[in-house]
């Protein structure tokens, strides 16, 4: 029996920084913003682990055009609420100089349980990301596409890099957020799973042995969501410009759709070992789009620009049917002009002033609204 075509719907989560526009420090006041934002945005605004972070989420969107509408509303509304409370919002994977040691944890039972379990590993999670859900209702198919999607995760990370600074230091990396989050258990590129049953058995083993209480504590770079019929890509730094968020979400959706179409033609994308994919992830963390990456098919080192342009060629046949040509074309802007990490570094090299870097982040966060 032929299984139904996946919906390939989109859901996008963005984690924003709350910034004091005078000091440019992070401000732990998410409770105030959530309180005034909930009557307007409902469940589409949420707290996060640390009180200087607010998360916005879209509802299920049938296409990228619908996602654009919700992302615009979320970002504009949050910025307006922050302004009324003497704050600004910033979108980047890390804050250039605020220390995690000054940032209190949000008052919520779940977060306090996590703090007890993970201690300083979670207290220092002063990082901000973007997650993309793609609707794939057949759970076995979702796992099969996840297995193949793993190869492309470093490409996606490279395009999203926005965290070169940490606690007042130039880290020399384009995505220091990835390093901080990598200290968590059950993170990074997942292993392959033969079926959803195999994945479910893995989760149940962890539950039975008291490692976790549910699948939400599996924080891989991509996972079958424990509650929704989606696969969730979690590898991205928080993009600074809204157009970057849209471009990355559209690219993730397009890769999933292309992999599905290949499977329908009995053409499976070659699966590569986690160890090799992790080599490419390190390249993305270190260099973003400006270094070399591994073409695992050819077993050659090539420029990241070439590999990313090949990725755009790979998905091109599905872009128009998804209605995401505008968003996918913006990926070329990222390849040619660099990512938020590159722009932040350029500002710091020009000024030597982390506050100027914050100013640039705050300005770009509002672009296009």
Specify the pLDDT at position 231: 98
pLDDT of residue 248: 98
DSSP class per residue in 171-233 = -S-SBHHHHHHTTSSSEESPPP-SSHHHHHHHHHHHHHTTS-SSGGG-EESEEE-SSSSEEEE
Residue 205 falls within a domain, yes or no?
A: yes
pLDDT tens digit sequence for 176-205? 999 999 999 999 999 999 999 999 999 999
**Percent of the chain topping pLDDT 70:** 99
Q: Does 63 have pLDDT greater than 60?
A: yes
Mean model confidence pLDDT for the chain = 96
Sign for the CA dihedral angle at 61, 65, 67, 69 comes to: negative
CATH number at residue 137: 3.30.590.20
pTM of the model: 0.97
Total structural domains within the chain: 1
The pLDDT value recorded for residue 1 is 56
- 5 belongs to a structural domain: no
Residue 2 lies in a domain: no
For residue 197, how far is the Cα from the chain centroid?
26
> Is residue 93 situated within a structural domain?
yes
Residue 1 in domain: no
In a domain, 141, yes or no: yes
Range of the domain at 17: 10-365
**Domain membership flag for residue 54:** yes
- Mean pLDDT for 5-15 is 97
Is residue 27 included in any domain, yes or no?
yes
């Amino acid at each position: 029996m032929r299984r139904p075509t996946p919906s390939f719907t989109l859901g996008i989560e963005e984690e924003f920084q709350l910034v004091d526009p005078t000091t440019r420090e992070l401000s732990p006041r998410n409770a105030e913003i959530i309180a005034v934002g909930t009557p307007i945005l409902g469940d589409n605004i949420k707290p996060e682990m640390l009180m200087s972070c607010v998360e916005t989420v879209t509802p299920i969107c049938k296409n990228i055009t619908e996602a654009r509408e919700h992302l615009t509303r979320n970002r504009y509304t949050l910025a307006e609420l922050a302004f009324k409370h003497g704050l600004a919002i910033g979108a980047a994977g890390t804050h250039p100089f605020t220390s995690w040691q000054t940032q209190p944890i949000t008052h919520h039972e779940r977060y306090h349980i996590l703090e007890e379990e993970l201690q300083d590993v979670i207290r220092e999670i002063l990082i901000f990301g973007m997650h993309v859900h793609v609707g794939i209702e057949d759970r076995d198919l979702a796992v099969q596409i996840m297995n193949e999607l793993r190869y492309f995760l470093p490409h996606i990370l490279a395009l999203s890099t926005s965290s070169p600074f940490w606690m007042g230091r130039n880290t020399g990396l384009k995505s220091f957020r990835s390093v901080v989050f990598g200290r968590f258990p059950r993170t990074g590129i997942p292993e392959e799973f033969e079926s959803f049953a195999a994945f479910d058995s893995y989760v149940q083993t962890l539950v039975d042995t008291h490692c976790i209480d549910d699948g939400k504590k599996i924080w891989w770079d991509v996972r079958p969501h424990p509650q929704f019929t989606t696969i969730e890509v979690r590898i991205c730094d928080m993009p600074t410009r809204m157009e970057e968020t849209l471009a990355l979400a559209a690219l993730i959706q397009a890769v999933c759709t292309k992999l599905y179409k290949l499977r329908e033609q009995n053409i499976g994308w070659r699966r590569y070992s986690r160890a090799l994919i992790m080599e490419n992830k390190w390249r993305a963390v270190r260099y973003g789009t400006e270094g070399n990456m591994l073409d695992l098919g050819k077993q050659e080192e090539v420029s990241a620009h070439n590999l990313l342009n090949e990725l755009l060629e790979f998905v091109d046949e599905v872009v128009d049917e998804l209605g995401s040509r505008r968003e996918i074309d913006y990926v070329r802007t990222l390849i040619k002009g660099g990512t938020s990490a590159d722009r932040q570094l350029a500002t710091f090299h020009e000024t030597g002033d982390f506050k100027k870097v914050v100013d640039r982040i705050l300005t770009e966060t509002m672009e296009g609204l």
